[in-house]
Structure 1
Amino acid sequence: MLAKSFKSLGQFLLRYGLALAFIWLGLMKLKNSEADYLKDVLSNSAMLGWLLKYITPYAFSQLVAYLQMLIGIMIATKPVARKLSFVGGVLATIVLFLSVTTLFTSSYVWLPPYGFPELSKLGQSILKDVILLGAAMWCVGDSA
């Protein structure tokens, strides 16, 4: 009985904790300080650096903010809109996968001058996305 309770609570926290994290982080990205932070991240990313040629860091931050909040809301809708929650989980998986790849494509995640395995604050922030990616993938499977 205790194991079943822990499993149920864990599943609840995976889904709604992920939704809360996306909504909260989206709200934070509406701030100018987050745009400055994203500029540093993007300019040091081999995969996403090209975006700065086409969009300002502030505009990119705003787009990411609204996308994250929408994803969080979609994930939370499972009790009433299972398909919408599924799409939210897929989008979260894509966003988090892109974030996790930054660990391998940006020198900005390592603490200068030490390098691997010393993570910068950004690297530490992205490392938690590995776990969130697992939660997003679980949400996809749970909502299918």
Structure 2
Amino acid sequence: MVGQSLFRYGLGIILIWLGIMKFKNSEALQIEQTMAQTVLFQWMLKYVTIYAFSQIIAWIQIVAGVLIMLKPVSASLSRWGGALAMVVFLAGILVFFTSGVVWQTGYGFPELSRAGHAFLKDFILFGAAAWCFSDSQ
């Protein structure tokens, strides 16, 4: 029971914290560098500024974190939070597999770059979000 609570509320705190970080210009610039090298997402840069996109991600993460932590109040809302979080972390996993920024320049697999280290967390966080989604029934 304690472990499950730590898992749920820890994920909520991580999402909120990462969301708040997305409001910083430095974070937006990091996102822009990654998106520019990711075929799945580079097209978006033509339609929305990187700062607007970063704020959209920020709000999605913050809302997902809050909803996940609302399970004692509403399991249904918590389930929606888990689903939003899964989408966020799935996007990170897709970037991991489709972008060249995750590998250390000149080395390739298995040498991860700093960006690669940052995206590696999305695998376990996706699992945590999936658990929160399934646990909120």
TM-score between the two structures when normalised by the length of structure 1:
0.92
Shift of 1:102: 1.2
Which residue does the alignment assign to 2:9? 16
**Distance (Å, rounded) in 1 between the aligned partners of 2:29 and 2:130:** 30
Say yes or no: does 1:44 pair with 2:32.
no
Shift of 1:78: 0.3
Runs of 4+ in structure 1 deviating by more than 6 angstroms, as ranges, are none
Aligned length: 137
Look up the equivalent residue of 2:85 and give its one-letter code. A
Look up the equivalent residue of 2:36 and give its one-letter code. S
Shift of 1:98: 1.3
**Distance (Å, rounded) in 2 between the aligned partners of 1:133 and 1:63:** 19
> How big is the alpha-carbon RMSD for the aligned residues of Structure 1 and Structure 2?
0.8
Which residue does the alignment assign to 1:75? 68
Say yes or no: does 1:63 pair with 2:56.
yes
Larger Rg: 1
**Distance (Å, rounded) in 2 between the aligned partners of 1:125 and 1:12:** 24
**Distance (Å, rounded) in 2 between the aligned partners of 1:62 and 1:15:** 24
Identical positions, percent? 49
**Distance (Å, rounded) in 1 between the aligned partners of 2:131 and 2:3:** 12
Shift of 1:66: 1.1
Look up the equivalent residue of 2:54 and give its one-letter code. S
Shift of 1:103: 1.4
Look up the equivalent residue of 1:33 and give its one-letter code. S
Which residue does the alignment assign to 1:115? 108
Unaligned runs of 5+ in 2: none
Look up the equivalent residue of 1:77 and give its one-letter code. L
TM-score between the two structures when normalised by the length of structure 2:
0.97
